Chain A
Amino acid sequence: MAVSATAKQEQPRVVLSARGLSKSFGAFMAVKNVDLDVHHARVHALIGPNGAGKTTVFNLLTKFLQPTAGSITLLGTDITKTPPDRIARMGLVRSFQISAVFPHLTVLDNVRVALQRTNGLSTQFWLPVSSLDRLNARADELIESVGLKRERNALAADLSYGRKRVLEIATTLALDPKVLLLDEPMAGMGQEDIGTVSNIIREVAKTRAVLMVEHNLSVVADICHHVTVLQRGEILAEGDYAEVSQDPRVRTAYMGTEEA
């Protein structure tokens, strides 16, 4: 299996951190002074009500948005001014809230597009497409590890929503990232797929850092080591799930209605 089932839980250490992160759109402060530490070998959840700024924080961390103030450090390097594609090459790879697959490519090609970069097979315009076949072994491994083997030659557009998200994770893992940012990986998924994805994330996080935005609190309780609660762009509470879910401010702001 690609996501090696026998991977040992490694020791946590900070790999991605943000200090005083802020973003304003005109007069509106979407993110205010957020400090965040993401640890290696840990699943970190970012939760909060709608409009709390979770996705904005994601966009800031991956540099799809430029922060108004604050700094971001990835693996000891300041990336506050680094462009998003370079950040991806440094090992910080994100997923999107809406499923991000290449719809008119097959499942296999979707994964291969990611492998093309790490294998230096992306600029050759004189080679035939069949030169990419040597990526198939690794691609198949990844496809199998997320349970998409039977859909290997189907177009991504023909997959169900949940399967698309799974494909997206396989594509992301193809880059062997050090830090994974998953924006609502379970949104719109059936119960069966949620179980699969939870297992994949848990396995993946043994050897890398995962930061995820998630609304499904039972998933958060189940797989996340650390939870940060955002409200109106600010950090409301932090800690493990048990601590956070007991926090009265969090309960009123967010969890009051939902029993996890």
Chain B
Amino acid sequence: MSEMTQTAAKPHIERSATASRTYTIFVIIGLAALILAPMFFYPIFLMKLLCFALFACAFNLLLGYTGLLSFGHATFFGGAAYFTAHVVKEWGFPPELGILTGVVGAALLGLVMGFFAIRRQGIYFAMITLALSQMFFFFCLQAKFTQGEDGIQSVPRGHLFGFIDLNSSTNMYYFVLGVFLIGMVIIWRFINSPFGMILRSIRENEPRAISLGYSVARYKLGAFVMSAALAGLAGGLKSLVFQFATLTDVAWQMSGEVILMTLLGGIGTLIGPIFGAGLVVTLQNYLATSQFPVTIVTGVIFMICVLVFRRGIIGEFYASRLGRKLGFEHRR
């Protein structure tokens, strides 16, 4: 009997070694593309794309790697945008400190929302996050510092570390790219850490993780706060790119959009959400000038995704014959 087991059980390590080699090559190609991109595309568009890509990756940290579907991530994205915009414009913070303020603010909001939501699962978890984010939306509508319907306008980009002028869009682009890469490295490290290992085990078999003595709620809360902080990083960055923070960023549609991006790109894949965000942002940009309503197009795409390629763009690629040949595998 154990002879049979032996042949059935494939060594797992060799496969991952091939995967990490192909991964390295892909990452180098991707990096080169991002560095050269401003020569071919409009920088503001690229920066918007990177901000949303980071946002989606932060969201995916929670959905894909912890198995929690939050319906309130706009709170962290938009909240951080407000915090950053406020401290930069009103208190004269330099951009790097402004973004840090946004991140800390989002993490604190995440701690509060996570504390209430983490005790419930599935649809109840999603509903609690939605309810709390709606409360935050109304807070932003009423609070003085957000300037209500107008939002915080003409936020100065300032000088990075006091000497790099971010008003030049080339400088700003590479700053955004740098922050984006830092964010991605943090996410990558987070999911490939001892902590990430426990998160995986919780997602795989929660009762077993409890029976091994892990207080599951704390680990989930940790992931929630980390996801919120990174969403805040994206939000703070976005408010500097566009030089404003408005109610759009905290509205529930934003929470929905990030879910769409993550689903399209591939839940539980590190780079999938980047592609998902790229697709959605490109469509929005492309269709913004046409008569055709964007929401219908994204809605149709969403349906096609759910019906035909449920694993998302990157997920389907990993699961395809070519992807498997390259050593990838898709779990879920």
B6–A106 CB distance below 8 A? no
How would you classify the secondary structure of chain B's contact residues: helix, strand, loop or mixed?
helix
Are B211's CB and A192's CB within 8 A? no
Cα distance, A160 to B4, chains bound together (Å): 9
What is the minimal beta-carbon distance from B252 to any residue of chain A, in angstroms?
29
A248 within 8 A of B: no
For B151, the chain A residues whose CB sits under 8 A away are: none
B33 an interface residue at 8 Å Cβ cutoff?
A: no
Interface code B194-220, partner A: CB below 8 Å = 1, 0 otherwise? 111110110011011111111110000
What's the least CB distance linking B66 to chain A, in Å?
12
Residue of B nearest to A102 (CB): B204
Judge whether B10 is part of the interface by a CB distance below 8 angstroms. yes
| Contact, CB under 8 Å: B194 / A131 | yes
Interchain CB contact under 8 A, A88 and B212: yes
Collect the chain A residues with CB atoms within 8 Å of residue B215's CB.
83, 85-86
Supposing A158-B8, A160-B8 touch, asked if A129 and B212 sit within 8 A by C-beta, the answer is no
List A80-127 residues whose CB lies under 8 Å from chain B: 83-86, 88-89, 93-96, 100-106, 109, 112-114, 116-117, 121-127
Most buried by B among A109, A124, A125, A159: A125
CB pair B208–A96 under 8 Å, yes or no, is yes
Q: Please report the C-alpha to C-alpha distance between residue A212 and residue B11 in the assembled complex, in whole angstroms.
A: 33
Determine whether the beta carbon of A64 is less than 8 Å from that of B207: yes
B12 close to A122 (CB less than 8 A): no
B183–chain A nearest beta-carbon distance, Å = 14
Residues on A with C-beta less than 8 A from B1 are: 160, 162, 190, 192-193
Q: Given the complex, which residues of A lie within 8 Å of B201, measured CB to CB? A: 102, 105, 113
Are A155 and B204 in contact, with the CB atoms below 8 A? no
CB proximity of A170 to chain B, nearest CB, Å:
12
CB neighbours (8 Å) of A162 from chain B are 1
Q: Which residues of A contact B210 (CB under 8 A)?
A: 64, 84-85, 88
User: Is A154 close to B, CB under 8 A?
Assistant: yes
B197:A116 contact, CB within 8 angstroms: yes
Q: Which residues of chain B are within 8 angstroms of A230 by Cβ–Cβ distance? A: none
Taking the complex as formed, is A50 at the interface, i.e. its CB lies under 8 A from any CB of chain B? no
What 0/1 readout, one digit per residue, does chain B (1-29) give for beta carbons within 8 Å of chain A?
11011101111110000000000000000
* Contact present for A116 and B213 (CB under 8 Å): no
Q: Please indicate the chain B residues that have their CB under 8 angstroms from the CB of A109 in the complex.
A: 197
Chain B residue nearest to A147 in the complex (CB): B2
Contact of B212 among A93, A125, A150 (CB under 8 A): A93
B10 engages A122 (CB within 8 Å):
no
Q: Is A171 an interface residue (CB 8 A)?
A: yes
Interface residues of B (CB under 8 A from A): 1-2, 4-6, 8-13, 189-190, 192-198, 200-201, 204-205, 207-216, 222, 226, 331
* Pairs A–B under 8 Å by Cβ, sample size 21: A64-B207, A83-B215, A102-B205, A104-B204, A106-B12, A112-B197, A113-B197, A116-B198, A122-B195, A123-B194, A124-B194, A128-B189, A129-B193, A129-B194, A131-B193, A131-B194, A153-B13, A159-B5, A175-B213, A192-B2, A193-B1
**A-B residue pairs, 10 tightest by C-beta:** A154-B9, A88-B213, A125-B195, A100-B208, A102-B204, A89-B213, A158-B9, A85-B215, A113-B201, A124-B194
